[in-house]
Structure 1
Amino acid sequence: MIKTLLFDFGDVFLTLDKSATQTHLKRFGITEFNKEMLIKNQAYEMGLIPTKDFISYYTEKFPQLSELDFIHAWNSILIDFPKHKLDFLKNLAADKQFQLILLSNTNDLHIQWVEENIAIYSEFKACFDAFYLSHEIELRKPNADVFKFILDNHSRKPEEILFIDDTKENTDAADKLGLKTWNLKAGNEDVVDLFNVNRFLI
């Protein structure tokens, strides 16, 4: 029996354009994130690098890139938050049938942008019983330790959690630990249809 709904944030609630950052960086001659850069990005996502140092890493590596240019490119992935998704979540919270938890791979720059540009963010956050951001808990998906953190912190058995995430790598990792999962296909599926497409909730 499902007792907890564990939600991702980006492309489940917050609309993303996942190619936007690299599209913007190409204007400065940065065609891809190499292995070193990907490691740095993941460390930043886990809160292991201060924002100032993270920005400096890129502006020093690519002198043609100003601090403002980098921040704009980095945050260009973030688009908007459709209100109907908030309405769905608020109804879910009011119903109190499930414990609601958010688990998001994100970083300080992205959350700063969300706080400044998404007016309904505080309402969204208030719907959850627990709200975990990777850069605050120093854990990230798809690593097994982040799911074990959720299970231990909330005294749940894996089969009591339904995990909703748009990234298959993340849902595959959760599957291996016994969590129920929905790999939501962003653009083709909507979180508001949760109860129509999930056999675990019927």
Structure 2
Amino acid sequence: MIKTVIFDMGGVIITIDNEEPKKRFLELGLTEFANRMNPYKQSGLNGELEEGKVSEEEYRLAICNELGKDVSFEQLQHCWMGYMKEVPARKLMTIKNLRKQGYRVILLSNTNPYVSAWTDSNDFSGDGHPIQDYFDAIYRSYEVKYMKPDENFFRYVMAQEKALPEECLFIDDGPRNCCAASELGIFTYCPQNGEDWCDKIYNYLK
């Protein structure tokens, strides 16, 4: 019996645009960064940011050094926000309904402080709600120091939640991430980026 529903963020809750962030990093003069962009698992300095190995300020200063000029938090946030195409209200409503139905609903995401500055603001939902209003708990890669598909990320969440794998459903648009969760005994559902899973999810909760 499923008791806990674990959501990925980008691609599942937020429809992502894979090309726009590359374009924005290129416009800033960061060709190498643009070529390395990967919505499922970042690498290089971007990966160090999302795994919490460097802080937001250390990341910014490294880029300033790379470009030989000052780059602001807002400029870098603009680049990262290129991923964010849409936050469908229907999905947020489904998440709220799952909580009302008694499921514990949590977020498990590879992300970074630039994106979190937006998700944690009242601009996130379009009607004045931050992402925290929709979840019982939020686990971010840069805060817990793990990135999917590292199984330690899932083990950490299971331990914090005191949850049994067989009582959890993990929804992620990344096949490798779902595979990693499945190997630990967690049930998984892997919709496509932007897919409307609001009705289909109930087939996995039976």
TM-score, normalised on structure 2?
0.83
Aligned counterpart, 1:183: 190
Aligned counterpart, 2:117: 112
Pick aligned residue for 1:135 from 142, 158, 165: 142
User: C-alpha separation between the residues in 1 aligned to 2:15 and 2:147?
Assistant: 20
Q: CA deviation at 1:9?
A: 1.1
Q: CA deviation at 1:124?
A: 4.2
Aligned counterpart, 2:14: 14
Alignment of 1:1-202 (within 5 A): 1-33=1-33, 38-63=43-68, 66-67=71-72, 68-96=74-102, 98-114=103-119, 115=121, 117-118=123-124, 119-120=126-127, 122=129, 124-187=131-194, 189-195=195-201, 198=203, 200-202=204-206
TM-score, normalised on structure 1?
0.85
User: 3-state DSSP class of the match of 2:198?
Assistant: helix
RMSD after superposition: 2.4
Q: Is the 8 A contact 1:163 1:181 kept in 2?
A: yes
User: C-alpha separation between the residues in 2 aligned to 1:168 and 1:120?
Assistant: 32
Partner amino acid, structure 2, of 1:3: K
Which digits, 9 at most, give the CA deviation of each residue in 1:36-65, with x for residues without a partner?
A: x82321221122212121012122112378
Q: CA deviation at 1:178?
A: 1.5
Q: CA deviation at 1:123?
A: 5.6
My pick for the range that moved more, 176-185 or 67-76, is 67-76
Partner amino acid, structure 1, of 2:166: E
Q: CA deviation at 1:173?
A: 0.9
Q: CA deviation at 1:179?
A: 1.0
Partner amino acid, structure 2, of 1:8: D
User: C-alpha separation between the residues in 2 aligned to 1:27 and 1:124?
Assistant: 29
User: C-alpha separation between the residues in 2 aligned to 1:130 and 1:28?
Assistant: 35
Q: Is the 8 A contact 2:123 2:130 kept in 1?
A: no
Q: CA deviation at 1:111?
A: 1.0
User: C-alpha separation between the residues in 2 aligned to 1:116 and 1:44?
Assistant: 24
Q: CA deviation at 1:32?
A: 3.8
User: C-alpha separation between the residues in 1 aligned to 2:104 and 2:127?
Assistant: 21
User: 3-state DSSP class of the match of 1:192?
Assistant: coil
Which digits, 9 at most, give the CA deviation of each residue in 1:162-191, with x for residues without a partner?
A: 10011112111111111111111113x223
Any gaps of 5 or more consecutive residues in structure 2?
37-41
Q: Is the 8 A contact 1:7 1:165 kept in 2?
A: yes
Q: Is the 8 A contact 1:46 1:138 kept in 2?
A: yes
Q: Is the 8 A contact 2:123 2:129 kept in 1?
A: no
Aligned residues: 197
